[in-house]
Structure 1
Amino acid sequence: MEIEKGRSDARTDDTNKLKGYIVELLTSVFDSTQAEGLTSTVKSTRGFQHPLTGQLLTPCDKDWEDPVTQDDLKSGKLVSKKWPQYLFRGFRADPARLFHGFLQNDLMLRAALCIFVNPSALAKDTSRSRSNRAGNAALAGMTEMTVPALAYVAFQLRFTLCSEEVFCKGGHDLFDYSRLYYDVIRLLEDPHMSWLKKAVLQWYNVSVADILSVPDRY
């Protein structure tokens, strides 16, 4: 019971951390003008109510620029189980090469740094965060990125971008967070997708090797 409570407390801490750094997180990747209207304390303006977060949360088989799609997403009429665009390189899935660059983008990377290293890692010059590089990763004995850790980042980032105040199955946002977490794990652990797992983990380990003080294995 104590272990489960500890995990729950840690998850809540990570949720609050990302929620509070939403503006810094987005402006570390996008132009600051694109994040106008977003604040660290109010979630109701996020999700499909905001152009940037709405685009990032749009299912990969839909076009955010389509007014009908926007209306359906905002109203809750459209609830998709497809991968959201924020998981793809360039934040736009390529139907012809769906998993090319999957999970490999600066937003996911900086969310991972915020959770496992320190929020100061959101600085565009990541060398500024080196003095704090031990962070949660060192405390947890984490020396390299793992599949469950990536699934956790995807899970937390999705909730940070959405407008819901708490994890729930009610309201307009009916996204299944548990499904997302386990879908990422199932995909990367699929023997037929071993090439993707290798590419994703290598990309993260190389990207954060210096910050986590992990020698570059590649």
Structure 2
Amino acid sequence: MTTSSDGSSASTGKRRLPFNFKESLPPNKRLKTANTKESSAGKHISCTHHEDTNRKRVVEQLASIGKTICRAVYFTCNLYDFVDCLIAELGETPVFDIDSDLLEAVKQISTFHPLVRDVIRQGRRECKMSIRNIGDALRKGHESAQSNDIKTIKENLPYIFSGIKFEPPIEPVHSVGKARMGFHHPQCAELLRPLNANWDDPKVRALSLTTVHAPTVQDFPHFIMANARDLNMGPEGQASILDRLFISPYLIRAARVILFGPSAVNETPIPPTSRCNASKNNIRGASPELIAYITIMLRFCLSDEESYSNDCYSYIKLYDVIRKQFQDVNFKTVKKYIINTWNSELFPRTATTGMGSSKNVISGPETRQGHLGHITAEKSAVLQIAKAQSQLSAQYDTTLTDAERDVATALLIV
């Protein structure tokens, strides 16, 4: 064996390892040779990054759930109570009392987001999120949905109310000014007027500008009704007014704009894009809460109020009154018809009515007659009672119970 001047072994053909062996290795090979303190620090950073990534993903999922709650489940619910109700199902002790409305809302959100409990469980156990943390994430999505929907409706009012000539024009909204809308604007006033108001009476119109009170069923805005000329009224005549509630083209168009985007104002895209709100929020069917939400959003956008609040008009009360109306046992058959109509227009692939999608809300006479056939003699009996009560109330100022007044007003509009 010979040794060269640089100390390498010439006979074996092998070169001696460099003196600074550790420094010559690539970083991934040197990791195991690092001191204990350095390794521990790297492990801590890795764990923290993993936890932050999980938490971010949970917060994003909660925001999406919050948007669905806003639009289609329970707009006016206390989101922290909602979380409390969910964690109670996971075996934790609830902080607040849980009411039946919250239980129903939790049941509903599960149909839109089947993994909602898994998200809450991960947030609580893996990410160590408090009820407030989870509620804040839901609220962020809730508020984002509401503000975006108001902006979208405002920008598309002329298309939602196509066929109505607004004088002065309302496009864009800033050209006329919010202060000149609402009951100060002739066409907006016609759309906002209460269902049972005698709008030909100047005193009634004047009161609408000065009187503020908590809305009742009697104050449902007129734009929720389909036009009588679009209906096949049938032999019942005035009784068929019941079939006009909550199926106006304005409500359906506003719902399309919010769920599928402005380009879908007249027809639901088949299939809807993956980026639309309906897809992102897993909204695949209509609900009374969706109808109530669209109603209050549309009412606000037509009003003269600069910003959304419950100071001048109680939108929370209107929302809850609409929900209560759909829960009324006497409204059960009509509720089914309304929901089927909305599904056929917004979600034609999953609708059970077979009406299909169309540019107008109102279907043809043959189809409509088929649906009206499901509204049985039960409705006729209720109508007769409601009509008698309404007439007595109008002529003799008879005091009705809340339930009687609600049914009478909803079923018999004059």
The one of 178, 187, 192 equivalent to 2:325 is 187
Where 1:148 maps in the other structure, the secondary structure is helix
| TM-score for both structures, normalised by structure 1 | 0.82
Q: Is the 8 A contact 2:226 2:244 kept in 1?
A: yes
- Would the alpha carbon gap of residues 133 and 69 (structure 1) be closer, same or farther in structure 2, given more than 3 Å must change? farther
Cα distance in 1, alignment partners of residues 300 and 189 from structure 2 = 12
Q: Is the 8 A contact 1:62 1:69 kept in 2?
A: yes
Match of 2:189?
54
Q: Which AA in structure 2 matches 1:100?
A: D
Q: Is the 8 A contact 2:228 2:244 kept in 1?
A: no
| TM-score for both structures, normalised by structure 2 | 0.45
- Would the alpha carbon gap of residues 202 and 176 (structure 1) be closer, same or farther in structure 2, given more than 3 Å must change? same
Which digits, 9 at most, give the CA deviation of each residue in 1:139-169, with x for residues without a partner? 1111111111111111111111111011234
How many pairs align?
204
Q: Which AA in structure 1 matches 2:257?
A: C
Matching of residue 161 in structure 1 with residue 289 in structure 2 = no
The one of 280, 283, 289 equivalent to 1:142 is 283
Match of 1:72?
207
* CA positional deviation for 1:95: 7.8
The one of 218, 221, 230 equivalent to 1:84 is 221
Matching of residue 37 in structure 1 with residue 169 in structure 2 = yes
Q: Is the 8 A contact 2:310 2:316 kept in 1?
A: no
Q: Which AA in structure 2 matches 1:63?
A: N
Match of 2:148?
13
- Would the alpha carbon gap of residues 95 and 63 (structure 1) be closer, same or farther in structure 2, given more than 3 Å must change? farther
Cα distance in 2, alignment partners of residues 159 and 95 from structure 1 = 30
Where 1:59 maps in the other structure, the secondary structure is coil
Q: Which AA in structure 2 matches 1:89?
A: A
Cα distance in 2, alignment partners of residues 78 and 166 from structure 1 = 17
Which digits, 9 at most, give the CA deviation of each residue in 1:88-107, with x for residues without a partner? 22289x98666332101100
Which digits, 9 at most, give the CA deviation of each residue in 1:113-149, with x for residues without a partner? 1111111122x4x26x558655111111111111111
RMSD: 2.5
Where 1:184 maps in the other structure, the secondary structure is helix
Moved more, 111-120 or 129-138: 129-138
The one of 246, 258, 277 equivalent to 1:103 is 246
Match of 2:316?
178
Cα distance in 1, alignment partners of residues 168 and 272 from structure 2 = 29
* CA positional deviation for 1:52: 1.1
Q: Is the 8 A contact 1:26 1:35 kept in 2?
A: no
Q: Is the 8 A contact 1:89 1:102 kept in 2?
A: yes
Identity %: 21
Instruction: Specify which structure has the bigger relative contact order, considering alpha-carbon pairs within 8 angstroms and separated by 6 or more residues.
Output: 1
Written as runs of structure 1 = structure 2, the 5 A alignment for 1:193-212 is 193-210=331-348
Cα distance in 1, alignment partners of residues 296 and 310 from structure 2 = 15
Moved more, 3-12 or 94-103: 94-103
Where 1:182 maps in the other structure, the secondary structure is helix
Cα distance in 1, alignment partners of residues 228 and 182 from structure 2 = 15
The one of 24, 27, 36 equivalent to 2:159 is 24
Which digits, 9 at most, give the CA deviation of each residue in 1:184-212, with x for residues without a partner? 111112233211210110011111234xx
* CA positional deviation for 1:216: 3.5
Q: Is the 8 A contact 2:182 2:188 kept in 1?
A: yes
Q: Which AA in structure 2 matches 1:17?
A: T
Where 1:168 maps in the other structure, the secondary structure is coil
Structure possessing the higher radius of gyration over alpha carbons: 2
Matching of residue 117 in structure 1 with residue 225 in structure 2 = no
Match of 2:33?
none
* CA positional deviation for 1:108: 0.5
- Would the alpha carbon gap of residues 99 and 176 (structure 1) be closer, same or farther in structure 2, given more than 3 Å must change? farther
Q: Which AA in structure 2 matches 1:25?
A: I
Cα distance in 2, alignment partners of residues 90 and 162 from structure 1 = 21
* CA positional deviation for 1:183: 1.1
The one of 114, 131, 137 equivalent to 1:2 is 137
